[in-house]
Structure 1
Amino acid sequence: MEVAGKRVDIDTESAVGESSLCVSCEVEKVKTPACGACRECNEKMCTTCFRYHLRGKLCRNHVFLSLQEFCSLSLCSGLEDVTRCEKHDNELIKFYCRSHDIVGCGDCIVLGHTSCKPEYINDLAKSFKDGDTYKSIAKLLEDLEKQKTDYEHEIEKGKYECENMNEKALKGLRDFRTEINKCLDEAEAKLLSQMKILRKENTETKAKIEAVLQSFTSELQKVKQMLDTQLYRDNALFINAVNCKSKLADIEKMNEHSTKDMALKGFKFVRNDQMSALLKSRLPVGRLQVCHIECRTKETAKQKFCVGTRVRRKPKYQMGHTVPGTVTRVTDKTVTIKWDELNCTQMYDITDDTFEII
């Protein structure tokens, strides 16, 4: 109960939340729980500050209210504000104009609604709570509250779907990149294998050429020794010269026969024209197929399908179109689908439930 000049003990008002702080202490940058509030000043205070508050001559008869009493008083003040006209010096709102569906004070009615046959609110309010108008407003409010709750659920669902779509798109990109890398690795490995084979063949050919060259050098050295004028003279030199003619001819034939199929194989890397054109084009690795996600709890057929949606026949209806297709046009009554491999576009009723999104 409110008492003028009452001094409240701190222990009696200890159950105060941290959200109710003493305003006077906050000015001094000190956080102190408020135990109540001054009714006249409309400020929450602790008991210590209220004691000092009462010392002032102008504040000596101020009343200290508990927090519960203060909150109740604030609520009543709010209700009083509802019945006061904001346009005409807080005059009481007493009339209702049915033609314009507005309420107002006497001044409002006189100035703008004298020909509208205004009605007294006191007469209308007696049975208003049990009337159809209040019930319809309450029902609409209830429906909107439910719709709000449904929207909140859809938003949460949408958040999950967004994350899920992002993960799926990222996985698709990574998988495609892995396939590209694998394809390039296989192509590179194939070229490296060919290079290894050619290198081995050239190594073997070089060994054969070196062996022939060594034999050729040895035979030439023998002929050269036979024609050495310091070792052989006169008859001996003549005889060796005659014999060397046939020997040189044999060496020449042996050299031609040995080196005929022993040429080294030269090679160099030549870029693939299509791959080079692809690099120059700077084509993206793929694209994102974007479609709108409607945040609605009751999904209509038109909301279900949008341009770009990928669809296919449901398993039990896969007698005709078994290949997937893409929605190209959507109206209130029809949906048009372009089938991938059938090279045709067909129109269906929007309520057709034989399709499913893929």
Structure 2
Amino acid sequence: MCTTCFRYHLRVKLCRNHVFLSLDEFSTLPLCSGLEDVKHDNELIKFYCRSHDIVGCGDCIVLGHTSCKPEYISDLAKSFKDGDTYKSIAKRLADLEKQKTDCEHEIDKGKYECEKMNDKALKGLRDFRTEINKCLDEAESKLLSEMKMMRKENTVTKAKIEAVLQSFTSELQEVKQMLDTQLYRDNALFINAVNCKSKLTDIEKMYEHSSKDMALKGLKFVRNDQMLALLKSERPVGSLQFCQIECRTKETTKQKFCVGTRVRRHGISSSRIYTSPGTVTKVTDITFTVKWDFRVNDTTYNIADDNTDKLKII
């Protein structure tokens, strides 16, 4: 604390009797031995059983571990901090902390990947919907074009029919006038009737020939029931495929095969199955090397190589 904080600290009633020391004075104080004493059922834990890798008080050792040759913790603790066991535990702790940090990074990465995939899926859906709308617009435009062409053909056909009917009307009117009994009688009427026979025959042939081209074309819209059924289906536009985004860090080959790791490899030679034991002697960022017990040549594996699955840790 600075001087100001120290002064405010003493204003509180519960803190008026607190004693403050300088950093130099604090560094000279001996460590409180009571903090190192760990008890079990009000008895100090003083023994370590190496066979079972547990610690216990006197009662625990007498009742269950007398034949295990227990050792005093005070003897073992003197050099424990600088020993391999403590370093191994500390390394495992550091590795787990690193895995936790990596897992946090993977989770953040997974969140980003989820958002990215979601945006991509949404874009794909929108693009497909646009493509469908474009196809429907083109199909509608094609039908409208056919309707327009048919109306144009009917207009031409109608003009032809009107022209033929006008000619028929004129021809029939002439024949009708020649057969009018008020205008012609007796011999004249007979002569006109004879002449009208051939004229009527010509008119009939002309009408029969023209009637083939005088039909107008009607139209009717027929729905595509297959498309309608597809649109009414459960997923007419498409579906979603879900995939697992791994957010937990996995144990890598490099972590599994460290220097000193004992391994064995199975193989087949001359129709005989054999097992080769060995020891990992070297590990780099991308490879690790195994020295075999009964073979002259060492083997170097790539960490990312699938062949590492053939190795088993002993």
- TM-score w.r.t. the length of structure 1 is 0.52
* Alpha-carbon offset, residue 265 of structure 1: 3.1
From 49, 53, 60, the counterpart of 1:108: 60
Question: Match of 1:84?
Answer: 39
1:309-324 equivalences under 5 Å are none
- Counterparts of 1:248 and 1:121, CA distance in 2: 138
Pairs aligned (count): 242
Identity score, percent: 77
CA contact (8 A) 1:95 1:119 kept: yes
- Counterparts of 1:258 and 1:123, CA distance in 2: 127
* Alpha-carbon offset, residue 181 of structure 1: 3.8
Question: Equivalent residue of 2:61, what SS?
Answer: helix
Are 1:122 and 2:77 an aligned pair?
A: no
Question: Match of 1:334?
Answer: none
Question: Match of 1:17?
Answer: none
Question: Equivalent residue of 1:93, what SS?
Answer: strand
Cα distance change on mapping 1:137 and 1:92 into 2, 3 Å: same
1:330-349 equivalences under 5 Å are none
Question: Match of 1:186?
Answer: 138
Question: Equivalent residue of 1:146, what SS?
Answer: helix
- Counterparts of 2:37 and 2:143, CA distance in 1: 87
Q: CA RMSD in A?
A: 4.2
CA contact (8 A) 2:99 2:249 kept: no
CA contact (8 A) 1:154 1:297 kept: no
* Alpha-carbon offset, residue 214 of structure 1: 2.9
Question: Match of 1:198?
Answer: 150
1:56-71 equivalences under 5 Å are none
C-alpha distance after superposition, 1:106-151 (max 9, x if no partner) = 3333333333333333332222222222121112111211122122
1:86-165 equivalences under 5 Å are 88=41, 90-165=42-117
Question: Equivalent residue of 1:94, what SS?
Answer: strand
Query: Any unmatched runs of 5+ in structure 1?
Result: 1-9, 14-34, 37-45, 51-61, 70-75, 301-348, 352-358
- Counterparts of 2:223 and 2:177, CA distance in 1: 54
> Which residue identity does 1:100 align to in structure 2?
H
- TM-score w.r.t. the length of structure 2 is 0.58
Cα distance change on mapping 1:230 and 1:12 into 2, 3 Å: farther
More displaced 10-residue stretch of structure 1: 91-100 or 125-134: 91-100
* Alpha-carbon offset, residue 201 of structure 1: 0.9
Question: Match of 2:311?
Answer: none
* Alpha-carbon offset, residue 250 of structure 1: 3.5
C-alpha distance after superposition, 1:256-306 (max 9, x if no partner) = 333332322344445669767866887765555655444447877xxxxxx
Query: Any unmatched runs of 5+ in structure 2?
Result: 22-30, 254-304, 308-314
Question: Match of 2:197?
Answer: 245
Question: Match of 2:176?
Answer: 224
Question: Equivalent residue of 2:213, what SS?
Answer: coil
> Which residue identity does 1:191 align to in structure 2?
L
User: Which is bigger in relative contact order (C-alpha 8 A, separation at least 6)?
Assistant: 2
- Counterparts of 1:82 and 1:189, CA distance in 2: 91
